[in-house]
Amino acid sequence: MTARVVLVTGASSGIGEATARLAAQRGEHLVLLARGRDALGRVAADCDELGAASTTVTVADVADDDAVRRAVADAMARHGRLDVVVGAAGVVAYGRIEDVPVDVFDGVLATNLTGSANLVRHVLPVLREQEEGSIVLVGSVIGHMAVPDMAAYVLSKWGLRGLVRQLRVDNRDRPRLRFGYVAPGGVDTPIYEQAATYGDAVGRPPFPVQAPERVAARVLATVDRPWRGGQTSAANHVIRLGFSALPWAYDRMVGPLFTVAAQDLVREVVRGPGNVLASRQEHNALHGTHGNALAAVARNLVEVGRRRRKAA
Ligand SMILES: NC(=O)c1ccc[n+]([C@@H]2O[C@H](COP(=O)([O-])OP(=O)(O)OC[C@H]3O[C@@H](n4cnc5c(N)ncnc54)[C@H](OP(=O)(O)O)[C@@H]3O)[C@@H](O)[C@H]2O)c1
């Protein structure tokens, strides 16, 4: 089979990196995009070793429309076509809406939502001209619900889900264009350590934690069969059901559950913008360092007990 041209944003860490590596194993041509050149270089070298037909590194911020335009133009100049585009660039901010600085709040939306729209704006004319090709955008189960202290991320992922649906509606005249959407739950990647933090605890991936390789396999399965996309775990369906069918119970329970399952109460809190405003590529990696999620819940419960006793 002829190698396809696969462009991946957020390719220097986590889910984007795992997607790039899997595509490399399949012998595809890769265009790897993120803000940090050195981390991209590390992934590119691995992809070459894994069997990529070719690997190109593109340093760009997806929030910068002109940079995305240039990245797509460069990829076209080199390959003459684009077959698969995966939007996996993403950042997180924790903290109440009134505590997260406005530039950080807007930065989350700029990468996750406007960045996805920028990507689509420049890729779509290419795919429409070719009359075939796939775009897969990585959303989140959080694009289907509200969770405490993640307002910017929630808004960005609800918006991204709307963008995918909009693309399907707008491009019905091109039946060979495919628009995939993959919504992971907890995935062990560095995104939690990289997050902007303005609250009292740091985030962690909640149970059941998936490996980025597993989500990457889902992303690439979605390329040719968009109906294979959507939620990546059964737990996502349960949480979504609670959110929409039992809103009064969900709103009451999500706070305490989030504290013990989606935060690490014993890790030191380092407040600041994380990687939202600029790359911290030295922290990028294929996997995170969060360990067993159930053990983390147990540790959190012990810590909650300790704090209650101290307060009494
Ligand atoms: N991990 C999870 O539990 C989880 C769950 C649900 C959804 N997701 C989503 O999955 C996607 C990938 O997340 P991940 O966990 O793999 O995160 P990650 O390991 O932190 O990787 C994020 C990647 O995006 C790049 N990036 C960040 N901002 C960018 C920008 N403005 N322009 C270009 N590249 C940018 C980063 O490199 P530079 O910083 O060098 O640019 C890095 O390559 C995100 O959309 C995230 O919201 C993750």
CATH code of the domain covering residue 35: 3.40.50.720
Ligand 1: distance of its center to the CA of 17 in Å?
Answer: 9
pLDDT digits (tens, 9 = 90+) for 94-132: 999 999 999 999 999 999 999 999 999 999 999 999 999
- Cα dist. 307→161, 198, 266, 300 in Å? 38, 20, 11, 10
In tens, the pLDDT along 237-290 reads 999 999 999 999 999 999 999 999 999 999 999 999 999 999 999 999 999 998
The model's pTM: 0.97
Candidates 187, 207, 209, 289: which one to mutate for ligand 1, based on the most atoms within 8 Å of Cβ?
A: 187
Q: Mean of the pLDDT values across residues 79-103?
A: 98
pLDDT of residue 97: 96
Contacts 24+ apart (CB under 8 A), 170-176: 171/124, 171/128, 174/127, 174/128, 174/131, 174/132, 176/131, 176/132, 176/133
Measured from the Cβ of residue 20, the count of other Cβ atoms closer than 10 Å reads 33
Instruction: Determine whether the shortest distance from the Cβ of 107 to ligand 1 is under 6 A.
Output: no
Owning domain of residue 135: 5-311
Q: For residue 91, what pLDDT band results from cuts at 50, 70 and 90?
A: very high
Q: Catalytic annotation on 94?
A: no
The CB of 13 under 6 Å from ligand 1? The reply is yes
- pLDDT of 112: 98
Has residue 229 got a pLDDT over 80? no
* Cα separation values, 221 from 136, 138, 180, 215, 224, Å: 10, 13, 9, 10, 6
**Count: domains in the chain:** 1
Q: Judge whether residue 46 has pLDDT over 90.
A: yes
